[in-house]
Structure 1
Amino acid sequence: MKRDKTEELLLKARACDGDAFVELMELHKQSMYKVAKAYLKREEDVADAISETILDCFEHLESLRETRYFGTWLVRILINNCNNIRKSNQRTECTDQIEVLSGGGRTDERTRAFLDYLEPLEEQDRLLMILYYVWGFRTREISEILRMKEATVKSRMQRGRQKIKQAFFPMVV
């Protein structure tokens, strides 16, 4: 359903329908937030990455060859923007990697709870979980997005699930 709606909005946006582009971005806003939050800790950086991604998407919408790969394309742009922001932050200041979600109010309870479950994971493993469970990408697609072997994706996801179980359900494991 979401993919059909995305493709419909994408075709309209390519035909210079600004409202369709805005609706397309609204449709993916929550998922973009979760991916950016997995990479970046500060809310300001997350907002910058998302807004830069929206701008890049708007400017380069015509370069997308196949509409069915819009989600993969959007996530790749977002990840690149997150990496650029992290590099920029490393040059200008020593960022605190242990900083947790600030209670800024922009995130809803479900998003906060989801990110809390992912907290025991390393950054890369958090991203894998978000791409798989939030965006619905298959492991093969994730391996293409992150440019790693599919077997690596599968093993990191399995290890991530195990860490979550140990952290939140120690009596079960």
Structure 2
Amino acid sequence: MERDLIKRAKQGDQDAFLKLMDSQMQTMYKLAWTYLKNEDNVADIVQDTILTCFEKLPTLRDEKYFKTWMMKIVINHCKNVLKKEKRIVHMESLPEEAFVEREYSNREWNEMLDSLGEKYRTILLLYYLENFNTREISQILDMNESTVRVRLKRGRDKLVKEYSFVSPAVSVL
């Protein structure tokens, strides 16, 4: 079904493109949130990603790599925002964020991921929440697959070490 939408979208079918982007909205949002943690920036990234996908979709060579290609676009847009943020000096000591009530398990998962460095957090998110394999993650992040496997293992180990005090009978991952 998705490959059919991609083929039709590549041929200029706007309805197919909108359905395709709608099906990927949550995935784009989650990944952008992992990087930016700011509702406004995340919304901008999702919009920018949709626009980039629309403009560049004809350049996608193989439909089966659409999601990998799209995730790479999200990550590149996030990295650009982070570069710009580093150059901006914020005057407020506490950032103002919108209050959003989330399920307890999502908050707990996000807190666990936040305790890791970005290099582990992104890989764990792509692996466990988006179900990418290590080869696909290596393509998305432009890194060696063995590096992805090592960071995946180290990220798991850090989580287990940090959260093993909760209950020895409960496995974190």
Alignment TM-score, normalising by the size of structure 2? 0.83
Higher radius of gyration, 1 or 2: 2
- Of structures 1 and 2, the one scoring higher in RCO (CA 8 A, sep 6+) is 1
- Select the residue among 73, 88, 113 that pairs with 1:92: 88
**Post-superposition shift, 1:95?**
9.7
Instruction: Give secondary structure in 2 for the equivalent of 1:60.
Output: helix
> Contact 1:120–1:163 at 8 Å: present in 2 too?
no
**Aligned pair 1:144/2:139, yes or no?**
yes
> 2: distance between equivalents of 1:93 and 1:55?
29
**Post-superposition shift, 1:108?**
6.2
Cα separation, partners in 2 of 1:54 and 1:108, compared to 1, 3 Å:
farther
Deviations 1:37-67 (A, max 9, x none): 1111211111111110110001111010110
> 1: distance between equivalents of 2:151 and 2:77?
23
Partner of residue 26, structure 1: 22
**Post-superposition shift, 1:112?**
4.0
Alignment TM-score, normalising by the size of structure 1? 0.83
Cα separation, partners in 2 of 1:151 and 1:64, compared to 1, 3 Å:
same
The more displaced of 65-74 and 31-40 is: 31-40
- Select the residue among 103, 111, 115 that pairs with 2:99: 103
Letter in 1 for 2:61: R
Letter in 2 for 1:147: D
> Contact 1:49–1:81 at 8 Å: present in 2 too?
yes
**Post-superposition shift, 1:123?**
1.4
> 2: distance between equivalents of 1:7 and 1:95?
47
**Aligned pair 1:80/2:82, yes or no?**
no
> 1: distance between equivalents of 2:53 and 2:5?
13
> 2: distance between equivalents of 1:88 and 1:64?
28
Cα separation, partners in 2 of 1:95 and 1:25, compared to 1, 3 Å:
farther
Unaligned runs of 5+ in 2: none
**Post-superposition shift, 1:93?**
2.7
How many pairs are equivalent? 167
Unaligned runs of 5+ in 1: none
